[in-house]
């Protein structure tokens, strides 16, 4: 059984050497953590592998659309879900899985520490990776004015001028958070109006610190040792201390591509209504799947994680029955 929860968040365990797991969950976001709850309750020997406990929702200072909470921070919500998974026996392992291969009827997971882990079944819940602008100096200025996480870095821009690129809910939430610290927030978006939830847009439009730059893209990053501003493709220039990029995400297929897991033309993992992939005993859940009509929400990720673990349980139960 996992260690008792503590005030600093979920405890960390490695599986024992040569231990054969019933289930390995790759990813510590809402889908993976919920899969951990259900897998543990089904009494499957389960380990959840993640480097960042909580996933992308950690970027959200306030979550207001998850059932049971009027408002809760992404950090607090994910700590609760991961602690619940541990309560039911799921091990949470601070490890990046860098490769998966199949040997006979067992999957071998290769960890960044050099350790290997053996498991009968796998749930892939690695979420998405953030898109970049693809501009010269972007990598050079990353951490020096260019950021992809307002929650992580917003505090460092107190009384400074910042920009947010994007028109999604994530961009709106970043702009709202940054407005609490910065003296000015420029929203830069390529279309005529932000496509975020109308509620968020109303808040931003009523905020005197926020100024919209529509029908514009960032064409150039200014500065050498740190960001000094941006040039837009409409000819305007903005002097900025920070630029927060929120232009969406895309699935990373490098981990599971060698196994032949099928993806659609956009790179999302194809799943059936049981979150099964085309490879037996490999499931996928959360934002990286084609499931749930592409509705990328916390409650949907949680549901997919639960379904994936349930499918794995039924397979394990059938396998045990067939071998008796």
DSSP 150-187: HHHHGGGGTT-EEEEE--SHHHHHHHHHHHTT-SEEEE
Within-domain flag for 106:
yes
Do 30 and 88 share a domain, yes or no? yes
- Among 153, 169, 241, 287, the active-site one is 153
Mean pLDDT value across residues 308-323:
84
Report yes or no on 6 lying in a domain. no
Write down which residue in 219, 245, 271 finishes a domain.
245
pLDDT at 143: 85
What pLDDT was estimated at residue 319? 76
- Within-domain flag for 216: yes
pLDDT band (50, 70, 90) for residue 318: confident
Question: Is position 152 annotated as part of the catalytic site?
Answer: yes
Angle at 255 between CA 117 and CA 92, to 5 degrees: 45
Q: Is 153 a catalytic residue?
A: yes
Task: Give the model confidence (pLDDT) of 16-46 as tens digits.
Answer: 767 899 999 999 999 999 999 999 999 999 9
CA atoms lying within 13 Å on the CB side of residue 304: 37
| In a shared domain, residues 226 and 262 | no
Range of weakest confidence among 97-111, 252-266, 273-287, 302-316:
252-266
Domain end residue (candidates: 215, 245, 275): 245
Boundary residue ending a domain (245, 277, 309):
245
Instruction: Based on the fold, state whether residues 161 and 114 are members of the same structural domain.
Output: no
What CA–CA distance (Å, rounded) separates 135 from 145? 14
Q: How many CB atoms lie within 10 A of CB 173?
A: 24
Name the CA dihedral angle for 242, 246, 251, 255, rounded to a multiple of 10 degrees.
10
Q: What is the pLDDT of residue 17?
A: 65
> 124 and 26 in one domain?
yes
pLDDT value, residue 107: 97
Q: How far apart are CA 75 and CA 58, in angstroms?
A: 5
The CA-atom distances, in angstroms, between 324 and each of 20, 105, 198, 317 are: 20, 18, 57, 11
Determine the 3-state secondary structure of 79 from DSSP. helix
pLDDT tens across 42-90, in order?
Answer: 999 999 999 877 877 776 667 888 899 998 988 899 999 999 999 999 9
Q: Is the pLDDT of residue 324 over 90?
A: no
Neighbouring C-beta atoms of residue 19, cutoff 10 Å: 13
Backbone angles phi, psi at 138, to 5 degrees: -60, -45
In 253-316, DSSP assigns E strands to 282-284
pTM of the model: 0.76
237 and 254 inside one domain: no
Please give the tally of structural domains in the chain: 2
Name the 3-class secondary structure at 198: helix
- Which pLDDT band holds residue 273 (cuts at 50, 70, 90)? very high
Q: Are residues 51 and 115 in the same domain?
A: yes
Q: Report the distance separating Cα 303 and Cα 288, nearest Å.
A: 14
Domain membership of residue 193 as a residue range: 138-245
Q: Is the pLDDT of residue 198 over 90?
A: yes
* 244-253 tens-digit pLDDT: 999 988 887 7
Assess if residue 44 is contained within a domain: yes
pLDDT tens-digit readout, 129-181: 888 999 999 999 998 999 988 877 888 899 999 999 999 998 999 999 999 99
Identify the active-site residue in 62, 76, 139, 152. Answer: 152
pLDDT at residue 61, as a whole number = 66
Whether the per-residue pLDDT at 323 is higher than 70: the answer is: no
Q: Does residue 196 carry a catalytic annotation?
A: no
Q: What percent of the chain has pLDDT over 90?
A: 75
């Amino acid at each position: 059984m996992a260690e008792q929860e503590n005030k600093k968040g979920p405890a960390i365990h490695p599986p024992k050497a040569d231990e054969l797991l019933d289930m390995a969950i790759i990813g510590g976001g809402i889908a993976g953590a919920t899969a951990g709850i259900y897998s543990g309750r089904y009494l499957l020997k389960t380990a959840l592998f993640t480097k960042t406990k909580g996933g992308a929702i950690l970027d959200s200072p306030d979550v207001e659309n998850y059932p049971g909470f009027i408002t809760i921070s992404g950090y607090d919500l994910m700590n609760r879900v991961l602690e619940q998974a541990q309560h039911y026996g799921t091990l949470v392992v601070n490890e990046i899985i860098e490769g998966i291969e199949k040997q006979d009827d067992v999957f071998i997971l290769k960890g960044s520490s050099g350790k290997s882990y053996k498991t009968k079944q796998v749930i892939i819940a690695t979420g998405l990776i953030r898109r970049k602008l693809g501009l010269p100096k972007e990598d050079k200025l990353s951490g020096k004015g260019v950021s992809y996480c307002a929650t992580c870095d917003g505090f460092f821009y107190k009384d400074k001028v910042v920009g947010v690129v994007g028109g999604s809910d994530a961009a709106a939430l970043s702009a709202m958070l940054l407005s609490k610290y910065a003296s000015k927030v420029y929203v830069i978006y390529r279309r005529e109006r932000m496509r975020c939830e109308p509620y968020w847009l109303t808040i931003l439009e009523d905020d005197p610190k926020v100024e919209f730059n529509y029908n514009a893209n960032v064409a150039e990053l200014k500065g050498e040792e740190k960001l000094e501003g941006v040039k837009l493709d409409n000819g305007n220039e903005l002097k900025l201390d920070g630029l927060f990029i929120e232009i969406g995400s895309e699935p990373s297929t490098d981990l599971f591509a060698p196994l032949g897991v099928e993806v659609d033309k956009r790179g999302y993992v194809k799943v059936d209504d049981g979150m099964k992939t085309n490879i037996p005993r490999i499931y996928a859940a959360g934002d990286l799947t084609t499931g749930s009509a592409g509705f990328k929400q916390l409650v949907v990720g949680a549901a997919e994680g639960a379904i994936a673990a349930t499918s794995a349980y039924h397979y394990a139960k059938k396998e045990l029955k067939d071998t008796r």
